[in-house]
Amino acid sequence: MVSGSAPPPLSKSKKRLILFATILGSAMGWLDGTVVNVALPQIQRALHAGAAEVQWVMNAYLLFLGALLLLGGAAGDRYGRRRVFLTGVVIFTLASIACALSPDARLLVVARAVQGIGAALLTPASLALLSANFPDNERGQAIGLWAGLGAVTAAAGPLVGGWLVDQVSWRAIFFINVPLAVGTIVLTLVATPESRDPGAKHLDAPGAVLCAVSLGLLTWGLTVAGSQGFHSMWVLAVIAAGVLGGALFALVEARSKSPMLPFALFKSRDFLATNLLTLLLYFALSGALFFLPFELIRIHGYPAAAAGAAILPFPLVMGALSSLTGRLSDRIGPRWFLAAGPVIAGAGLALLGWAAGQSSYWTGVFPAVLTIAIGMTLAVAPLTTTVMSSVPQEHAGAASGINNAVSRIAGLLAIAAMSLIFSAVFDHVLQPLLDALHTPAELRPPRGSALTVDFGGHGDVMFKSSERSAFHRAYTLVMLLAGGCAAAGGVLAGVFVKDRKAQVDKVQGGKAPEGGASDH
């Protein structure tokens, strides 16, 4: 099939298999974006990793995923979405096996980076395959199922991963990708036709390199600043180089004949607004889900499986209601879903901060997670559908790549920036408390080590109480920050996203909206 033409007359069973294939393949990327969180404390102990190495187990994956998603989307348009999707699945699976067999933290970080490369190919291609094979009147429901079941997988990851960590080993969380990959490959080969953009002639290698380098420098600088502080000229120089690299990337993209970041797509107000919403919403969610397992495991003593089960309301709610949300969004327009959902999710994130220190799950964590789940369920399917509907069909791969890149880059920056804020607040609150206890310097945790402190490792009750108090202050602040970011995204969407219901009605009545799929 050629992109830009009507989808082929596929049978319902074929379309169902295509949907299952894209969900199963994307599930690997979504799963590894969350399943590692609950395993980090055990990985840290087993591999004797420091605070920075723990962050890089997450950041290496997010860095290469975020930096190369744009290139992955463009590659799918150029070489074929099915081909690029399958290539990404194979790379991701081999890297997962390497992660499981890693003997030390450095090799694990390298393998996680390769996982990110594979995910950068398969993720945008999966969504582009849906757009290419489902007509307009079915696309919202299909993307709703894709987004909803993907969110179920991502949110269920900590539960599955926690059980594997407790019962088997942290290494088992990477081996579970192998059967998922086999199923994905079989379904894709059997049911999925190839599609591409005939106008895509070249790939933007200079842009890909600049994007990866600039993000890497910025992330590394923010991560190291947690222990060295911003007074270090080396840290400031690295961060400045990352910002300069980002400016050069924008310049190269503006002048490229085949940019992986086509700025013309941002002429669509819906596309611009929904990507800004994506940035704020996933910055908030990724930061919160990074810190929640540390609160539950280190402070409250949850086993890894219990920490994963703590967010079980999230996948249950999203799995049950995302398809319905997608259908309702198609009927009445996405604007108010995109406004209300992030505000509700933001309230849930703020509730997590308010619940810091509460020992009861049912009065502390549960109401917050349930509120986040309701908000994200309202937002995710309409957000994805609006992104894909706001640009011409031939740019489906690029649009998918951009939006996925924004969400992953948001997660990358959230972990780096919020870890920096968390450590700074922890140190700022803890030091006066220890001064009051006349705690000798050799017993004090080093600065920037908030995420590696063993809260059960000291016999002095007042010392442990001081550390817990500092941890809760820092945890509360980052959760409130996350809630504010999510709510700000909802306000932005309510103001700037157009109500597309009238345009959908025209399409269903046989009249295309002016300007095609793009809402310029």
The pLDDT value recorded for residue 10 is: 73
Q: How far is CA 365 from CA 11, 341, 368, 375, in A?
A: 44, 19, 5, 16
Structure tokens at 241: 């180089």
Identity of residue 440: P
Whether the per-residue pLDDT at 514 is higher than 50: the answer is no
Torsion of CA 456, 449, 345, 281, to 10 degrees: -160
Torsion of CA 347, 350, 355, 357, to 10 degrees: 170
Cα–Cα distance measured from residue 451 to residue 395, given in angstroms and rounded to the nearest whole number: 42
Q: How many CB atoms lie within 10 A of CB 237?
A: 12
Whether the per-residue pLDDT at 7 is higher than 60: the answer is no
Q: How many CB atoms lie within 10 A of CB 6?
A: 9
Cα–Cα distance measured from residue 224 to residue 234, given in angstroms and rounded to the nearest whole number: 10
Q: Identify the bridge partners of residue 2 per DSSP, sorted by sequence position.
A: 196
Average confidence score pLDDT of the chain: 81
pLDDT grade for 505, boundaries at 50, 70 and 90:
very low
- Mean pLDDT confidence for 285-302: 85
Q: How many CB atoms lie within 10 A of CB 260?
A: 28
The pLDDT value recorded for residue 93 is: 95
Q: How far is CA 15 from CA 12, 152, 330, in A?
A: 5, 21, 19
- Mean pLDDT confidence for 140-151: 72
Whether the per-residue pLDDT at 507 is higher than 90: the answer is no
Q: How many CB atoms lie within 10 A of CB 258?
A: 16
State how far Cα 370 lies from the chain centre. 19
pLDDT grade for 520, boundaries at 50, 70 and 90:
very low
Identity of residue 295: E
Whether the per-residue pLDDT at 241 is higher than 60: the answer is yes
The pLDDT value recorded for residue 517 is: 32
Render pLDDT for 335-389 as a digit per residue (tens, 0 to 9).
999 999 999 999 999 999 988 777 788 888 999 999 999 999 999 888 888 887 8
Structure tokens at 296: 């539950």
257: CB partners within 8 A, 6+ apart? 202
Which residue did the predictor score with more confidence, 141 or 427? 427
Render pLDDT for 471-490 as a digit per residue (tens, 0 to 9).
889 999 999 999 999 999 99
Cα–Cα distance measured from residue 520 to residue 505, given in angstroms and rounded to the nearest whole number: 18
- Mean pLDDT confidence for 136-144: 72
- Mean pLDDT confidence for 12-17: 84
Which residue did the predictor score with more confidence, 33 or 384? 384
The pLDDT value recorded for residue 201 is: 65
Whether the per-residue pLDDT at 492 is higher than 50: the answer is yes
Whether the per-residue pLDDT at 41 is higher than 90: the answer is no
Whether the Cβ atoms of residue 111 and residue 36 lie closer than 8 Å to each other:
no
Render pLDDT for 50-69 as a digit per residue (tens, 0 to 9).
777 877 888 788 778 877 87
The pLDDT value recorded for residue 508 is: 42
Residue 300: strand, helix, or coil: coil
Whether the Cβ atoms of residue 267 and residue 393 lie closer than 8 Å to each other:
no
The pLDDT value recorded for residue 1 is: 39
The closest alpha carbon to 148, from 379, 398, 387, belongs to: 379
Q: How many CB atoms lie within 10 A of CB 79?
A: 16
The pLDDT value recorded for residue 227 is: 63
Lowest mean pLDDT among 29-33, 251-255, 422-426: 29-33
The pLDDT value recorded for residue 453 is: 66
Render pLDDT for 165-180 as a digit per residue (tens, 0 to 9).
888 888 998 998 999 9
Is the Cα dihedral 127, 128, 133, 135 positive or negative? positive
Structure tokens at 69: 């998603």
Which residue did the predictor score with more confidence, 323 or 233? 233
- Mean pLDDT confidence for 231-253: 89
pLDDT grade for 148, boundaries at 50, 70 and 90:
low
Whether the Cβ atoms of residue 284 and residue 482 lie closer than 8 Å to each other:
yes
Q: How far is CA 60 from CA 215, 294, 412, in A?
A: 11, 20, 9
H/E run at residue 203: none
Q: How far is CA 189 from CA 17, 117, 184, 233, in A?
A: 10, 22, 9, 53
pLDDT grade for 500, boundaries at 50, 70 and 90:
low
What's the pTM value of the predicted model, to 2 decimals?
0.73
The pLDDT value recorded for residue 193 is: 86
Q: How far is CA 503 from CA 138, 169, 271, 322, 510, in A?
A: 15, 52, 15, 22, 11
Structure tokens at 118: 């594979």
The pLDDT value recorded for residue 192 is: 85
Whether the per-residue pLDDT at 510 is higher than 70: the answer is no
The pLDDT value recorded for residue 200 is: 65
Identity of residue 490: G
State how far Cα 366 lies from the chain centre. 22
Whether the Cβ atoms of residue 218 and residue 247 lie closer than 8 Å to each other:
no
H/E run at residue 262: none
Q: How many CB atoms lie within 10 A of CB 45?
A: 12
Render pLDDT for 88-102 as a digit per residue (tens, 0 to 9).
999 999 999 999 999
Whether the Cβ atoms of residue 329 and residue 382 lie closer than 8 Å to each other:
yes
Cα–Cα distance measured from residue 43 to residue 465, given in angstroms and rounded to the nearest whole number: 26
Which residue did the predictor score with more confidence, 3 or 365? 365
Render pLDDT for 417-439 as a digit per residue (tens, 0 to 9).
898 899 889 888 888 888 787 77
